[in-house]
Structure 1
Amino acid sequence: MFALVVRFDLIDTEKAADFDDLVEETVAAIREREPGTLVYATHTVENEPLARVFYEVYRDRDAFEEHERQPHTRRFLDSRGEFVESFRVEFLAPAAVKGIPG
């Protein structure tokens, strides 16, 4: 298992809406084309309307690297700069788990 969390802080409410549209398109393609992506959960943050958090779990590092090569992921990564003020990626080490294959 390979997992990460990403926090995005968006520029303003208009950019946040456009970012959310891009995320919807991207997640639809991930659902359809990425069997090695086990969880790709996007979240808004309570009381922080310009923040988004992604929780991503991949079968293994190879599945993550395959995700990064996909055209829909490349489009997201290439476009996010116009919506995002800052972002932070944290790679996770598995510990106690329920619900996700170890």
Structure 2
Amino acid sequence: MTKSQTTRRGAILGAAGVAAASIGFVRPAMAAVQDQKKLVTLIATLQIADGKADAAKKYFRLLTEAVEKNEPGTLAYVAHTYRDDPGKVIFFEVYNGQDALKKHKPGAYDLGMSAEGLFDGKVKVEFLERITGYIRGEEESLKKQKKDAQADN
């Protein structure tokens, strides 16, 4: 396993398995996306500055509320902290294609400017490729879409 694969695997396991707290949302529409290959999935890692945990969590809540309200193409946007390192944050993000990701970037940048001093260092972004797995409701949602399409014809 390369260093990049190890880092990516650790980040995914960290986001999925050892999270102590999370803030964010996953839209039910994520299961209804017919072409799962067009989804853009990433993790963004950052470090909360010492003494800024409460302010950072408040910022994350405002950020996720703004993204959920204004970016329907953002299908999942969830921040996690590690149990053994609560200052380390991983965002798990899923976008309904490149256009949705492009729409997200300016808003994230604008809100990021208001978070000055809350974080140490830069945000590290890693893009992921789906190998296997499921989204609960995905199969049922696709069957319903096909049935509805047949009924319309």
TM-score by length of 2: 0.58
Is residue 98 from structure 1 mapped to residue 137 from structure 2 by the alignment?
Answer: no
Is residue 32 from structure 1 mapped to residue 69 from structure 2 by the alignment?
Answer: yes
Higher relative contact order (CA 8 A, sep 6+): 1
2:40 aligns with 2
Say which structure is richer in strand.
Answer: 1
Within the candidate set 94, 112, 120, 1:85 is matched to 120
- The aligned amino acid for 1:89 is V
- Give the unaligned 5+ runs of structure 2: 1-38, 139-153
Moved over 6 A (4+): none
Q: How many residues align?
A: 98
The percentage of aligned residue pairs carrying the same residue is: 27
Distance in 1 separating the partners of 2:126 and 2:70: 24
- Alignment RMSD (CA, Å): 1.7
- The aligned amino acid for 2:89 is R
1:59 aligns with 96
**Alpha-carbon offset, residue 80 of structure 1:** 3.5
Distance in 1 separating the partners of 2:91 and 2:73: 17
Distance in 1 separating the partners of 2:78 and 2:86: 17
1:19 aligns with 56
- The aligned amino acid for 2:40 is F
Asked if the contact 1:23/1:76 (under 8 Å) is kept, the reply is no
- The aligned amino acid for 1:22 is Y
TM-score by length of 1: 0.84
**Alpha-carbon offset, residue 76 of structure 1:** 2.4
SS at structure 2 position matched to 1:90: strand
Distance in 1 separating the partners of 2:110 and 2:54: 17
